[in-house]
């Protein structure tokens, strides 16, 4: 760490060498000295050691300080916490409060105290009156609080205002609109509330406007289209309402528009011609309440690369003009009410990598021309009105496809053997909620790259084939609600072998016909499982001590089985448990007092067993309602029997 800091300082010296310090070896202007000393006094920890060396009166020589070589006045405070170089990024921390006396440095042009993590305090309310020359104010990535002062509007030379990732609050002052020189306004991830002032449309030099992750309400300013220099617009994750102003389509220079995660209503505006937004590459309108159709004119946005219109209330067919978006790599239309067939022009999207259309009302058949989508890696058509019967042959021949989601597509019959011979090794396969029948085939074990397999809610029967032990990459296995049977003993031998590769994180075998015991649970070497659901089966025998070895397990559901014997005290070793459901089994004996160690437990259900005795007194066990313990042989707590 020490040598890193030295190197850091060397880099800093190089960076600041640009500003000449020649003619200013002497004593600094008294106001500058006073301001800097007050600033230093407010900082109680600076792990870069830069401020500790601020000694004497020649403040222009100090680390991070630059002066005007004629007037000798301080023009820059440059102490960013984060420096990226070709070699490695360095992070310096500074803790303390920014002194309001910083306004004594009346010739300041640049203040960069960004990314220091630990700076608190407020932006001095008189900043606009005292620092008329300020061009850049960068305080992002700290804990600055309070409002953005009204006087900010007086900083007519301000080009960059980056206060993102702090704890600022209050309304955005209307006179922000006076900052005619402003090129970058970044206030994201604060707690600003109220409306975005209309005056913001007067910032005609603005190239980047980032107000995401705040609590802003009201409409998007109607004249937003006046921001003719704007390249990036991010207003996402606020509570903005009203329509998307049609003027937005006049943003000639814009390449990024993110309006997602708000409460916007109305229709997507019309895009008049192919040249209207020639640079728009990234568009997110997802998670709003937009209605109407996707306008045919959408096809004019010919530079679009990534688009999400997901989770709105869009209806009608997907316009065939979408095929004109030849640069498109990602398209998310899931969670709408889109209907009709997928247009055959979809096949013209030759750059397409991700296509998500799930949860709409799209009908079949799928256009076979889609066979030409050479770059498609992920396809999600789940939960539509597709009646595929079988997975189309061309689909399993797509050269790049490795993530397939076809839940509820009315696919029938056995798991098609074509799945083992796809050109790209399968990584994710979801054929849940179909009409699959027969057994899970032995060849499933040849899908060695498979990370997630969801065959839940089908009519699969028989045992899980032993070849699943070969699925070394498996992280998620969901086979719930089938008619699978046989011994789980084997499944857990399997499960312990999974962990030699990537660790299995989630296992759902609930609502099947599995029998026998689970003595092998937790016997794997380095189990990192988080979720186990074996409920609604016919599992017998006891819960073994080894279950306590599942230290990362957050939820365990063994409800509705035939497990018996006492609850193992060592279950309390599974200290990450948040959800524990053992309802409707035949467990006997007392609740082990060790269960008081399950400090993270938020949900507990021990009802309908044969448990008896006193419920161990203390948290978390006293937090749960009576229902968590009801239907047992005789459980009581200190205040009386249940
Ligand atoms: C003084 O600073 C200006 C602007 O930074 C620079 O152009 C000029 O060369 C400097 N003069 C001297 C003598 O260093
Ligand atoms: C949305 O903004 C809130 C703060 O207003 C933040 O806590 C949350 O993480 C943000 N969500 C996302 C997805 O960025
Ligand atoms: C789906 O297709 C099958 C076979 O073509 C047909 O029997 C069935 O009625 C169709 N179901 C629906 C909901 O259209
Ligand atoms: C598997 O599919 C079912 C039904 O489509 C769904 O409810 C479940 O969340 C999926 N499982 C996982 C692990 O994503
Ligand atoms: C376990 O599966 C059952 C049946 O599939 C389901 O009802 C239950 O909610 C699941 N438990 C947890 C903790 O998710
Ligand atoms: C499930 O198991 C029960 C008891 O073992 C058996 O009676 C039943 O026939 C099985 N059902 C199916 C669909 O395999
Ligand atoms: C259970 O945890 C205790 C310490 O919390 C440890 O000493 C013991 O070895 C653990 N037992 C098992 C079986 O993991």
User: pLDDT band for position 518 (50/70/90)?
Assistant: confident
The per-residue pLDDT for range 20-68, each reduced to its tens digit, is 444 446 889 999 999 999 999 999 999 888 899 999 999 999 999 999 9
Asked if residue 452 has pLDDT above 50, the reply is yes
Structure tokens of 236?
A: 């996402």
The per-residue pLDDT for range 419-445, each reduced to its tens digit, is 999 999 999 999 999 999 999 999 999
Residue nearest to atom 13 of ligand 1 (CA): 69
Element (H or E) spanning 194, and its range?
strand 191-195
Residue nearest to atom 2 of ligand 4 (CA): 432
Which pTM does this prediction carry?
0.90
The per-residue pLDDT for range 233-266, each reduced to its tens digit, is 999 999 999 999 999 999 999 999 999 999 999 9
In angstroms, what CA-CA distances link 326 with 94, 304, 509?
48, 8, 43
Residue percentage of the chain with pLDDT more than 90: 83
Domain assignment of residue 633, yes or no: yes
Mean pLDDT across 523-534: 78
DSSP 73-95: -EEEEE--SEE--SS--EE--EE
Domain assignment of residue 642, yes or no: yes
Domain assignment of residue 139, yes or no: no
| Nearest ligand for residue 479 CA | 4
The per-residue pLDDT for range 184-196, each reduced to its tens digit, is 999 999 999 999 9
Domain assignment of residue 567, yes or no: yes
Domain assignment of residue 220, yes or no: no
- Give the per-residue pLDDT at 468: 84
Q: Is the peptide bond before 365 cis (omega within 30 degrees of 0)?
A: yes
Tokens 């509705």 belong to residue: 560
Closest ligand 3 atom, CA of 385?
13
Mean pLDDT across 168-183: 97
Domain assignment of residue 111, yes or no: no
Residue nearest to atom 10 of ligand 7 (CA): 573
Q: Could you tell me the residue range of the domain that residue 633 belongs to?
A: 558-642
* CB neighbourhood size of 163 (10 A): 24
Say which CATH number the domain at 574 has. 3.80.10.10
Closest ligand 4 atom, CA of 383?
5
| Nearest ligand for residue 22 CA | 1
Task: Please give the residue that has the higher pLDDT: either 505 or 603.
Answer: 603
**C-alpha distance across the termini of the chain, in Å:** 59
Asked if residue 495 has pLDDT above 70, the reply is no
- Give the per-residue pLDDT at 440: 96
Domain assignment of residue 336, yes or no: no
The per-residue pLDDT for range 308-348, each reduced to its tens digit, is 999 999 999 999 999 999 999 999 999 999 999 999 999 99
Domain assignment of residue 571, yes or no: yes
How many domains are there within the chain?
1
- Give the per-residue pLDDT at 315: 98
| Nearest ligand for residue 480 CA | 5
């Amino acid at each position: 760490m020490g040598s890193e800091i030295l190197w850091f300082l060397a880099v800093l010296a190089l960076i600041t060498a640009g500003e000449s310090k020649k003619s200013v070896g002497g004593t600094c202007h008294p106001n500058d000295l006073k301001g800097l000393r007050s600033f230093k006094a407010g900082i109680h920890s600076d792990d870069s050691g830069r401020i500790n060396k601020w000694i004497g009166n020649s403040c222009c020589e100090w680390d991070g300080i630059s002066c005007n070589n004629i007037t000798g006045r301080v023009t820059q405070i440059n102490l960013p916490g984060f420096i990226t170089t070709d070699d490695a990024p360095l992070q310096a921390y500074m803790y303390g409060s920014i002194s309001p006396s910083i306004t004594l440095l009346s010739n300041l042009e640049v203040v960069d105290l960004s990314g220091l993590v630990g700076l608190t305090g407020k932006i001095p309310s008189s900043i606009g009156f005292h620092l008329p020359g300020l061009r850049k104010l960068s305080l992002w990535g700290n804990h600055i609080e309070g409002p953005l002062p009204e006087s900010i509007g007086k900083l007519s030379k301000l080009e960059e205002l980056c206060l993102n990732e702090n704890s600022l609050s209050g309304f955005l002052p209307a006179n922000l609109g006076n900052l005619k020189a402003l090129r970058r306004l970044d206030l994201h991830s604060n707690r600003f509330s109220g409306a975005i002032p209309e005056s913001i449309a007067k910032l005609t030099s603005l190239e980047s406007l980032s107000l995401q992750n705040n609590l802003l309400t009201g409409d998007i300013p109607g004249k937003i289209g006046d921001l003719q220099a704007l390249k990036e617009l991010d207003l996402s994750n606020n509570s903005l309402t009203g329509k998307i102003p049609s003027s937005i389509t006049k943003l000639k220079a814009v390449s990024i528009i993110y309006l997602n995660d708000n409460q916007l209503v109305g229709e997507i505006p019309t895009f008049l011609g192919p040249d209207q937004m020639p640079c728009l590459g990234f568009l997110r309108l997802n998670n709003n309440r937009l209605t109407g159709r996707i306008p045919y004119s959408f096809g004019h946005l010919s530079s679009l690369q990534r688009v999400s219109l997901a989770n709105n209330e869009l209806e009608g067919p997907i316009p065939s003009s979408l095929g004109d978006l030849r640069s498109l790599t990602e398209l998310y239309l899931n969670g709408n009410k889109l209907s009709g067939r997928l247009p055959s022009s979809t096949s013209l999207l030759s750059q397409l990598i991700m296509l998500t259309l799930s949860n709409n009302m799209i009908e079949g058949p799928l256009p076979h021309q889609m066979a030409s989508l050479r770059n498609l890696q992920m396809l999600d058509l789940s939960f539509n009105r597709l009646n595929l019967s079988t997975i189309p042959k061309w689909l399993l021949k797509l050269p790049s496809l490795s993530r397939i989601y076809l839940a509820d597509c009315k696919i029938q019959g056995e798991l098609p053997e074509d799945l083992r011979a796809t050109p790209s090794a399968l990584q994710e396969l979801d054929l849940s909620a179909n009409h699959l029948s027969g057994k899970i085939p032995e060849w499933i074990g040849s899908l060695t790259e498979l990370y997630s397999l969801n065959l839940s809610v089908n009519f699969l029967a028989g045992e899980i084939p032993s070849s699943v032990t070969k699925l070394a990459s498996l992280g998620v296995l969901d086979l719930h609600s089938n008619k699978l049977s046989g011994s789980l003993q084997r499944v857990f031998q399997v499960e312990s072998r999974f962990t030699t590769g990537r660790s299995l994180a989630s296992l759902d075998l609930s609502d099947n016909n599995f029998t026998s015991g689970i003595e092998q649970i937790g016997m794997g070497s380095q189990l990192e499982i988080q979720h186990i659901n074996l409920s609604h089966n016919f599992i017998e025998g006891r819960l073994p001590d080894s279950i306590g070895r599942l230290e990362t397990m957050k939820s365990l559901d063994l409800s509705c089985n035939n497990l018996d014997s006492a609850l193992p005290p060592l279950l309390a070793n599974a200290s990450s448990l948040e959800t524990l459901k053992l309802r409707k089994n035949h467990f006997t004996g007392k609740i082990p007092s060790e269960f008081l160690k399950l400090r993270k437990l938020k949900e507990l259900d021990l009802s309908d067993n044969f448990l008896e005795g006193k419920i161990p007194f203390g948290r978390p066990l006293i937090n749960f309602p009576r229902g968590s313990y009801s239907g047992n042989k005789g459980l009581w707590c200190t205040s009386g029997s249940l």
